[in-house]
Amino acid sequence: MTEPKITVRPGHPDFLDLAWEQSVVDWDSPRLVTLPKGISRHEVRFVAYGEGLYAIKELPLEAARNDYRVLRALERLETQIVSG
């Protein structure tokens, strides 16, 4: 199994203080924020860093890569998205 690669965008946190060895469902962090969320087949948690609020979604690696590609394409089109 290939280890995931961490890509940190300038101006954003590295999220290394989160419990990545656990499922996001089991996280217990002061960074967690409870917000309303829609229907998703994968678990989503929200975390706060300074002025920023980030959605973390737990999903298989290939699905995560696909989501990342789609979000970057939408960003290039200057479409409003939830991104981090």
CA 54 distance to own-chain centroid: 6
Reported as a pLDDT band with limits 50, 70 and 90, residue 15 is very high
pLDDT digit string, tens, across residues 26-79:
999 999 999 988 887 888 999 999 989 998 989 888 998 898 898 888 888 876
**What φ, ψ does residue 55 adopt, rounded to 5°?**
-95, 130
**What φ, ψ does residue 22 adopt, rounded to 5°?**
-110, 160
Dihedral of the alpha carbons of 76, 54, 58, 36, in degrees to the nearest 10: -110
Contacts of 37 (CB under 8 A, 6+ apart): 44, 46
Q: What is the DSSP letter of 24?
A: G
Q: What is the pLDDT of residue 1?
A: 52
